[in-house]
Amino acid sequence: MLNNLEKAALGFYDLAWSAAIPLLSKNKRLADGFAQRKLDRRLAEADIWIQAASAGEAYLAQSILKMIEPPRPVHILVTSNTRQGLDIIRAAILDIPEKKNITISAACFPFDSPRIMRKAVNQVSPDIMVLLESELWPGLLSALKESGSKILTINGRMTPKSLKHYKIWSSFWNSLAPDRILAISHEDAHRFGILFGKQRVRVVPNIKFDGINTENARGKVLESIKRFLPSEVPFLVLASIRKEEEALILKMIKTILEKQPKTVIGLFPRHMHRLCHLEKKLAASSLCWKLRSETNHPPAPGTVLLWDKFGELAASYQLAKAAFVGGSLVDAGGQNFLEPLMCGIIPVTGPYWDNFYWVGRQIMDAGLVRMAGDWKQSANILIQMLQEPESRENVRKKALDYIGKRQGGTQEACKLICQYIPF
């Protein structure tokens, strides 16, 4: 229970929200669903409330919704702070086979004003609150504690920096502690244990491993690319290239083509609106290049194909001899290097891959991902791979083994949630 000082702190927190909410209405991102965030629009009553902050957590919620089999009929409310998260959840609801024990609804996550959250918890009246990854909202947690709802943190992660901040007032956070925490690593479990007590915490596999697509692309997209990129063409994919690293990528391309002049390079920007800018940069360079949309026949050796058709990256990985995954030469968090790996290519990434640290550095120790320190080293590794490509079948087999040993987190999460469903 909160003491008087902690209750006063929540009161000041509520006043701060009251002052901020009128200003937040001018924020374009928050304006979407603003009435629901203020709770002017009622939330659905639910047995289980799952909070998925944004897209990454929404995919975790999707995995749980697909697998959970409660012992009695339940309604599940899934909320998210972002439009992208809500779109993923709503698509998941449509994609999940009908189960007689589950109905699902989705909504915007309310503002964490204690006053609003008390109203929200009263409307939803959840038996169980599921917080995904690192969600610790004091307004929500205090309202849940008052209502007697069970609070579960699933796929929990906590950085050393976050723990340092929470420890400034550890007794306050301990009063709001989740009932159970499933952490994704021993390090995260240790940090949760320091704050909330180790008896509440255990380690389970990261649910994100369960969501990895291990199937290769098939169908018309792959066949259409094969028509102008036959298997004998030494094809290199440079994927998900960010604006901040474009100049470095052009240097990489020139270095690679000096050593491997017969290579055809597929250049995939992370954001399609960068296409016109890349066209200008390629036109100003000495490189031979074409738009993918204008390519119907095998391109000349040494051609850079600027990929202006959406949805073809996965199929392109299946035809490539080597691949570099961008967002990683600059501090942009990196992009999905598991996709080319599932296609049997050992991907190369730059030094920045924070968004995928959850995969574990062991994947590099196992030789399934190559990390380069800069663009020059990236180019040299790719040249080596083009000269001596590894067996696609062997790479894929090792990758499936690595991932398979780390799956099962969703099953553990669903088992825990079902344990707390009252009959």
**Residue 215 DSSP label:** S
Q: Residue 153 burial by CB count (10 A; 0-12/13-18/19+): exposed, middle or buried?
A: buried
Q: What percent of the chain has pLDDT over 70?
A: 100
Q: Which of 133-147, 148-162, 168-182, 207-221 has the lowest mean pLDDT?
A: 207-221
CB-neighbour burial class of residue 205 (10 A; exposed 0-12, middle 13-18, buried 19+): buried
Q: Order of strands across the sheet with 201-203?
A: 102-108, 74-80, 48-51, 128-132, 150-156, 180-183, 201-203
pLDDT value of position 106: 97
Alpha-carbon gap, residue 135 to 57, rounded angstroms = 10
Please compute the mean of the pLDDT values over residues 85-94 and round it to a whole number.
Answer: 93
CB under 8 Å, gap of 24 or more: what pairs does 276-279 form?
277/243, 277/246, 278/246, 278/306, 279/306
Question: What pLDDT was estimated at residue 371?
Answer: 97
Q: What is the pLDDT of residue 60?
A: 96
pLDDT on residue 384 = 97
Question: Structure tokens of 128?
Answer: 């169980």
Angle at alpha carbon of residue 137, lines to 134 and 139, rounded to 5° = 170
Q: Using 50, 70 and 90 to split pLDDT, how confident is the model at 379?
A: very high
Share the mean pLDDT of the chain: 95
Dihedral Cα 101, 105, 110, 112, nearest 10 deg: 20
At 158, the pLDDT band (50, 70, 90 cuts) reads very high
Sign (positive or negative) of CA dihedral 19, 24, 30, 36: positive
Residue-wise pLDDT tens digits, 204-256 = 999 999 988 887 766 788 999 999 998 888 999 999 999 999 999 999 999 99
* pLDDT tens figures, 288-328: 999 999 998 999 999 999 999 988 999 999 999 999 999 99
Structure confidence at residue 96 (pLDDT): 84
Q: What is the reported pLDDT for 213?
A: 82
Say what the alpha-carbon torsion angle 353, 237, 375, 379 is, to the nearest 10 degrees.
130
Q: Tokens 């998900």 label which residue?
A: 240
Task: Please name the amino acid found at residue 331.
Answer: D
How is residue 30 written in tokens?
A: 């928050």
* ∠ Cα 293 295 299 (to 5°): 145
* pLDDT (average), residues 367-373: 97
pLDDT value, residue 170: 95
* Cβ–Cβ under 8 Å, residues 156 and 134: yes
Residue with tokens 């200008």: 280
Angle between helices 55-67 and 83-95 (to 10 degrees): 20
Are the C-beta atoms of 64 and 207 separated by less than 8 Å? yes
Q: What is the pLDDT of residue 218?
A: 67
Calpha distance 5→185 (Å, rounded)? 34
Name all domains of the chain by residue range, CATH numbers in brackets: 4-210+407-419 (3.40.50.11720), 220-404 (3.40.50.2000)
pTM attached to this predicted model: 0.83
